[in-house]
Structure 1
């Protein structure tokens, strides 16, 4: 399938899953949830070209583990673990494209501040709800996704950057809605930002290695 058709199919299947497919039965809903990610993975393979570098394979592995996380997030710790591994692959892949800049280094400050403030509020909510067993896994995940975001910034690639930021937004809405307080239309917001994040990371594979100098900021 030509790569230029895949974005439209990804958008179509994402909208179908988010707004049309019913919640029950669960297996039916899960099947349609995984279709956009399978297509994003196909798109990523197309974007990375015939001869794939170490960076390409690492980011592809991140997408694969994210897809596993999609399929298992109903069992929270299992899904969280899969996403955690996926982020470790993303971090390693992004760090292979390290592109030093003082300005990009300084972006670690707002990322760190957000992680601390958000993490403190989640810890408070988890303690108040008696779910102290989730404190360590959730804090570990916040740490890893924060490093992932910063490592994406350090590539200087705008697609990777915005993909990582949308990933943080998606996970922040999910965690706030799950542990702190309900957010209107949370499910739709989570999946819209999530699919967008993964698509942008997949799209970055075309430029992050050979042509990364064209997208440096």
Structure 2
């Protein structure tokens, strides 16, 4: 399958999974959930990279670990740990292409988001005596916050959009699971999740522009 066709096929397969695949049998549900991720990995592999080679390799590894996490998320803690590892891969990838400090306004918003989610989501578990789960949630909030923070420092729009979509998807999932039920949760979570992974995969093809001593000479 040629690369230009992969994005619409990913979208179609994602829609089929989200809106048309029943919850039972679980094995078939998981299989259909993994197909869009497998296609996203192929999309990343087929994308020509203008960034350091390690960036593409680590992003693909993160996508693969995310696909595994999709399969084991039905066992919540196993999925949480596996997605934690996937975020580590994304952080390591983004660190290969850092281009500056995070703007103060962005840092403030991320820290407010992290503090709010920690108090709201993790706090709800501490208040009912689920201390282990509360600690696990705090760790996950920290890692996804760091992932978003590092993505912003890359100055790569596709990576930043992907990271923000990922944070939104995880936030909706956490609120629904631990605080109150959100209508159409699956649609909100999975649409933004697949979008996040597509944008992160597409960031492999991002271009950066550096200036030599003579700024008239562009090095692409």
Q: Normalising by structure 2, what TM-score?
A: 0.91
Query: Which residue of the partner structure matches residue 146 of structure 2?
Result: 147
Written as runs of structure 1 = structure 2, the 5 A alignment for 1:109-188 is 109-188=108-187
Residues 56 and 204, structure 2, Cα contact 8 Å, conserved in 1: yes
Give the aligned CA root-mean-square deviation in angstroms. Answer: 1.8
Q: 1:51 to 1:29 in 2, by over 3 A?
A: same
Over 3 Å counting, the alpha-carbon distance change for 1:102 and 1:24 in structure 2 is closer
Pairwise CA distance, 1:99: 0.4
Pairing 1:54-93 to 2, within 5 Å after superposition: 54-93=54-93
Contact 1:23/1:29 (8 A) holds in 2: yes
Name structure 2 gaps, 5 residues minimum: 211-220
Q: Deviations over 1:20-58 (max 9, x none)?
A: 111111001111000000000100101145997011111
Partner of residue 23, structure 1: 23
Structure number with larger C-alpha Rg = 2
Q: Which residue of 2 aligns with 1:96?
A: 96
- SS of residue in 1 equivalent to 2:24: coil
**Counterpart contact for 1:157–1:204, Cα < 8 Å:** yes
Q: Which moved more, 1:120-129 or 1:133-142?
A: 120-129
- Cα distance in 2 between the residues matched to 1:124 and 1:87: 23
The 1:83/1:131 distance shift into structure 2, 3 A limit, reads same
Q: How far apart, CA to CA, are the structure 2 residues paired with 1:98 and 1:145?
A: 17
Distance 1:50 1:163 in 2: 18
User: For 1:103-161, what per-residue CA distance to the aligned partner results, in whole angstroms no more than 9, with x for missing partners?
Assistant: 3x552221011101111111232134443220111100100000000111111011000
TM-score by length of 1: 0.92
Query: 1:33-52 residue pairs with structure 2 within 5 A?
Result: 33-49=33-49
Does structure 2 conserve the Cα–Cα contact (< 8 Å) formed by 1:48 and 1:56?
no
